[in-house]
Amino acid sequence: MAIAIIAAFLPSLTTSSAAPQREAAPTYGSREEINAQFSRRLSSGAEIYSSTDANYTQEVTQRWQTRYAPTYRAAIKPATAKDVQTIVQIASKHNIPFLATGGGHGLSSTLARLRNGIEIDMNGFNGIEVDKASKTAVIGGGARYGDVIEPLYKAGLQIPIGSCDCVGFMGGAVGGGVGRYQGLQGIGADNWISAQVVTGTGELLEISETKNRDLFWGFKGAGANLGIVVSGKFKASSLVNGGKALNADFAFPASSNRTHWKIMKDIIAADRPNFAVQTQVRYNETFGGPFIVVTALYEGPEAEGRKAIEPLTKNNPLRSNITIVPWNLANNVSAFGGFVGPACEKGTKVNTYSVGTQRIDTATLEKQFANMTQVYKEQPKARIETAVYLEQWPIQALLAAPANSTSFHDRRTSTRIYWHFHYDDPSLETYFNQKGRDFRAAVHETSGFDRLQVYANYAHGDEGAATWYGPENLGPLRNLKRRWDPKQRFSFFNPIPI
């Protein structure tokens, strides 16, 4: 996602809900009160902050997305896996709601249900250990995509990542982990080997294909409902094309609207596993108002890449930038550098709706461009960052993965479309929620799917568990929830009902 997100835009590592009442929640909030509850049982390296501390916003990870943000009375930065387990056990015992945070990019409106809880700031777990010989990497539960790129690149390896360096790696993986590289390497969950996790029952466990296999399956697509990932081991691949890719960015005027969608339809039909394209519909007075931004990434020989983007170069762009970039710098260059701008600035207030399709209906997308033009006209204060994103990430490796190997169910979606509505005025909430629902429904009608397809990490929060995780997975996931989170501690992010 360009923001893509990450939407990659992605959730926090995990979420929780307050359990049914067992004993009264203690008074807490000041440093002294928090210390009394937690400090004597945590390691000397753990740090505790009250939300009233003067340095709270500097020392504790702040959220990128703040429109539907949880609220906290305190934050704890664990230093060890045992610390994470202890925090979960104490908070659970006293019915204190909590949320583990990596990059803080979770989009879902369900996160707002957490009020006056504890943030478990996982950013002390941001390391990566690369084993070049085995082509594997052990990644900390608080690492961002940007933390893992350079160590892998130096070892001649790469791994499926999102488009924005600042998004949490594990937050992506527990939701599936879609991205531009999935056509060749699959999604993040497809490359997961094992993990160390803390569950809703307060257990610290190893999970893999041979240890707690069912739970491992659940974490690979619905992990935010099952626990906190302390660390995970992933398989990596040798750098494609020696680590070089062709990046091509274009800006097109509104008059290119119709021909652009035809080009996008043809790109999907070409079925290239190493060619990923993202389209954005945005607003800029310099380009006459509504316009189109395209970023394309081709992993392969330059000549082949230039052939792939030829229809775009012939569509009379207002501006273009075509470069050969190393894998470790692709996120910094793409979208004219847009993936490192607003996509990573903290405090964004965004309202997101999304839908997946398995085909491009050009008339529908022309209508969506017209719809956004009307939105820009009616809401001029929301123009600057309000946009539509269309991610056409190839799906060949997703379709080739063994059936039911993960709890990620949405493998046939060839285009993910999401609307990011940015506005400060709370009186516009009803307006944009209605637009989001209407636009989502209209695109779904010609999506090629019988039922609504929405990637859980891009969800608004109103779609329901069957949409987020697939109706075929709900039974097994409910069983896992009953076993490993019976008190529903992890139920703030797109919850699975028991």
pLDDT digit string (tens) for the chain, length 498 residues: 333 332 332 333 433 433 333 334 445 656 677 788 898 999 999 999 999 999 999 999 999 889 999 999 999 999 999 999 999 999 999 999 999 999 989 999 999 999 999 999 999 999 999 999 999 999 999 999 999 999 999 999 999 999 999 999 999 999 999 999 999 999 999 999 999 999 999 999 999 999 999 999 999 999 999 999 999 999 999 999 999 999 999 999 999 999 999 999 999 999 999 999 999 999 999 999 999 999 999 999 999 999 999 999 999 999 999 999 999 999 999 999 888 776 788 888 999 999 999 999 999 999 999 999 999 999 999 998 999 999 999 999 999 999 899 999 999 999 999 999 999 999 999 999 999 999 999 999 999 999 999 999 999 999 999 999 999 999 999 999 999 999 999 999 999 999
The pLDDT value recorded for residue 485 is 98
The pLDDT value recorded for residue 337 is 87
User: How far apart are alpha carbons 456 and 343 in whole angstroms?
Assistant: 19
Closest CA to 170 of 126, 218, 215, 135: 126
User: How far apart are alpha carbons 235 and 130 in whole angstroms?
Assistant: 10
30 three-class SS: coil
Please provide the DSSP assignment of 110-175 as one string.
GGGG--SEEEEEGGG---EEEETTTTEEEEETT-BHHHHHHHHHHTTEE----S-TTSBHHHHHHH
**What is each CA distance from 486 to 197, 222, 482, 491, in whole angstroms?**
16, 16, 4, 11
Helices and strands counted in the chain (H then E): 16, 18
- Assess contact for 458 and 416: CB atoms under 8 A: yes
pTM of the predicted protein model: 0.92
Q: Which residue has the tokens 């999907």?
A: 268
- Residue 374's contacts (CB-CB under 8 Å, 6 or more residues apart) are none
284 forms beta bridges with: 289
Other residues' Cβ atoms within 10 Å of the Cβ of residue 108 = 29
Other residues' Cβ atoms within 10 Å of the Cβ of residue 154 = 11
The pLDDT value recorded for residue 29 is 57
Token pair listed for 178: 């879609």
Continuous H helices in 141-298: 145-154, 169-175, 182-185, 213-222, 257-270
User: How far apart are alpha carbons 52 and 41 in whole angstroms?
Assistant: 23
User: How far apart are alpha carbons 9 and 417 in whole angstroms?
Assistant: 12
